[in-house]
Structure 1
């Protein structure tokens, strides 16, 4: 049985200007102990997908269609009371921006212990001891557990957020831009830590990022999102070395490669589309170097390239020609 199955998920935001189709017919799955990278530009629907899985959407966000299964549990039909029993115990989240995700006037240890007391029905002292264990697990000094968020550096706060996400031994952890605002060395440490914990604890892991370059050594599979849709998904090796969608190609070309000439990478022209009024046909066609008339008229379906690798493009791999 798959740990997670997301099937034809549609999450829309109802705002005064209209309906924002933030996630529009997205499907993917995750096995036990597997790591999936969810990558794309800002505004493509990555975080909305994660919030839909956790059922943490704001009031204007509504799951309009599709299903989300955590093992045999259908998360999309649970009431607010029922979903709380699974949130943090079965699926937890490392939120983007640790400084904003923590309560600034609560000790970090208390914030971790709170979830343990609620879900595991233990005493406060037992939960506090569990928080100390988690500090050691994420390589923080247990003696700092009584500190406040402002007393921690950016990397330390991110480790504390990871400790908080692991408090109740979840089956699935979602890291939403877990390396945001961290320097390169600390980014590498956080990613290595998540990868080590995933393998040690045998949990599923989803890493959300806009930087495709950081996923190579951490993820088993990568899903590339654009304008609310998954445009390519496959093993990390396939997406890096045999990618078929021009958007994936431009993302990969956007970061330096020591094996290529030392030139400044060219940005993708234009901007992501307005998801209230998305383009007709392929949503990437206004920015695509290989778009033809059919791309403006007909939305491409997912084409299988073999070995669990699929893409949504009428002319897959055209940039290789």
Structure 2
């Protein structure tokens, strides 16, 4: 089931419990049930009932004279007092109902919707709270998963000489980097051990994440990359690299891979090293995006990077729960796509 479909199903189920299903189906406002529904189902009936209350109020006020005449002829004080008490209760009740009866039907209808939407939000918040307690965002290295994913990239020794030179520089303890761009390489699709079916699955995941970001953070023009942490031997040394396994929108390759090095780390490596999400501003650089939300995947198996043209969108709209949900879902979907097991 797609993420967008899952979102719609959750809203439909929760809205139905609050009588708001028609709101999410873009149809007319769901009618009230029971007696209130019969009285207030439209503005015409609503106004009739208000008129009825008004004239009832006048009638009861005038009826005090009749009650006084009736009580005057009653010899028993107890009965007379009881009649006056009943009259007073009815009079007060009608006056209160009329006083608190809303004057504007449209405003009244909107207020009812607002109350129900608040209740719906509280119900969804409760489900999210349960979700948060149910799972733990583990930042301890999951070596078993990382090793299984590492087999999906060819050995570094099999790559071209230009890429090998970057590896040699990164593992050299005397190397100094003025920019993290000096530690990136671009792998060809031939360097991946992925079937066409797996590529399609991974592309579907990044597309859905990009679309879901619009719902989570608002706005549009989102793109996404999924980096997986690869560990292999190069010149008898263990070298780590964050390799993009998918990107959306799709281009001729998956983009830059980032080799771990001493000193100037790329933003995705900083995110993985910290073990949590971070927002990076690229507004001063000439790129197709202005900011990145980088999210460390559980077990530090990789990083989800979501890009946007707006340099403020992530600073304003991102919550820790959003990132946790994205991290857990991305990890699960990637492991299913690549048939990786813990």
What is the TM-score of this pair, normalised by structure 2? 0.20
Bigger relative CO (Cα 8 Å, ≥ 6 apart): 1
> Larger strand proportion, structure 1 or 2?
1
> Larger helix proportion, structure 1 or 2?
2
What is the TM-score of this pair, normalised by structure 1? 0.21
